Homo-oligomer: A and B are copies of this chain.
Amino acid sequence: MANEVILLDFWASPFGMRAKIALIEKGVEFDKREEDLSNKSPLLLKTNPVHKQIPVLIHNGKPICESLVIVQYIDETWGPESPLLPSDPYERAQAKFWADYVDKKMYSAGRSSLWLTGEAQEAAKKEYIEFLKVLEGELGDKAYFGGERFGYVDVSLIPLYTWFYVFETLGNYSMVEVCPKVVAWAKRCMQRESVAKSLPDQYKIYDYFLELKKKRQAQ
C-alpha cells in the first residue's frame, strides 16, 4: 500500500509543531504543505470542514484533524517500538490528563495574556504563571513528564517553548525564575532532532507576533 502522508501546516502554530514532532519521532516521511491562513487552500477547507484549521494530517487520502488526535493517531499507526503514550491504561490516563491540561489551560490563558488588555490581561498573565507552576510541580525532578522517556505530554507542551520569549518579554517576567525545571526540561527536549527540527526560533516568533499585532490593530 502506498503510504502517502501530507501535513497541512503553518510554521508558527504550536499545534502544527506537535504533529511534526510526532511524525519525526516515528521516522515517518511526510509532505509538509504551508497554508496561508488568510487565504486557506481548497484542500484545507475540504479536509477540515468543521474547524477549517491546521494541522490536518492526510494519510493515504484520509484526513485526521485536531493536533492531539493526530499525535495519538501517529502513535497508533507507526513505530510501535518507540511509543509516545505508555501502554499501561493508568499511566496512559495520566498522560492524557496532562495533555488535556496543557490544551485547556495553558493555550487559552497564554493567548488571553497576549491579546487582552488592561486588568483582564494582567489576570490572564497571573493565571498563566499559576498554570506554569502547576506544571513545574508535576515535572518535579523527572527528565520528561512521563519519566525517563520523551512522550505524549512532552509533545503536547514543548511547542509553547517557542512562545516563551514573547510571553516573558511582553509580560515582563522571567520564565527561568517562574519555572526553572520546565525551562531546563524544554532545553533537554530541544536536544532531540524531532523538536529542534519542528520548533522555529523564539525571536522569529516574537517578530511574527509583533507584526500580527500591528495588522490587527490596523483593522
How far does the alpha carbon of A93 sit from the alpha carbon of B47 in the complex, in Å?
14
Chain B hits for A93, CB < 8 A: 64, 69-70, 72-73
Select one of B62, B69, B89, B92 contacting A96, CB under 8 A.
Answer: B69
Residues in B neighbouring A96, C-beta threshold 8 A = 66, 69, 72
Task: Kindly report how many copies of this chain are found in the complex they form together.
Answer: 2
What are 23 A-B pairs at a CB distance below 8 A?
A50-B101, A50-B134, A62-B90, A64-B90, A64-B93, A64-B94, A64-B97, A65-B97, A66-B96, A66-B100, A68-B100, A69-B96, A69-B97, A69-B100, A70-B93, A72-B92, A72-B96, A73-B89, A73-B92, A73-B93, A76-B89, A76-B92, A77-B89
Whole-angstrom distance between the Cβ of A115 and the nearest chain B Cβ: 18
A68, B66: Cα distance in complex, Å: 16
Note all chain B residues with C-beta closer than 8 A to A72: 92-93, 96
Residues in B neighbouring A59, C-beta threshold 8 A: 90
Tell me the nearest residue of chain B to A69, going by C-beta: B96
Nearest residue (CB) in B for A88 is: B76
A87 CA to B70 CA, complexed, in Å: 16
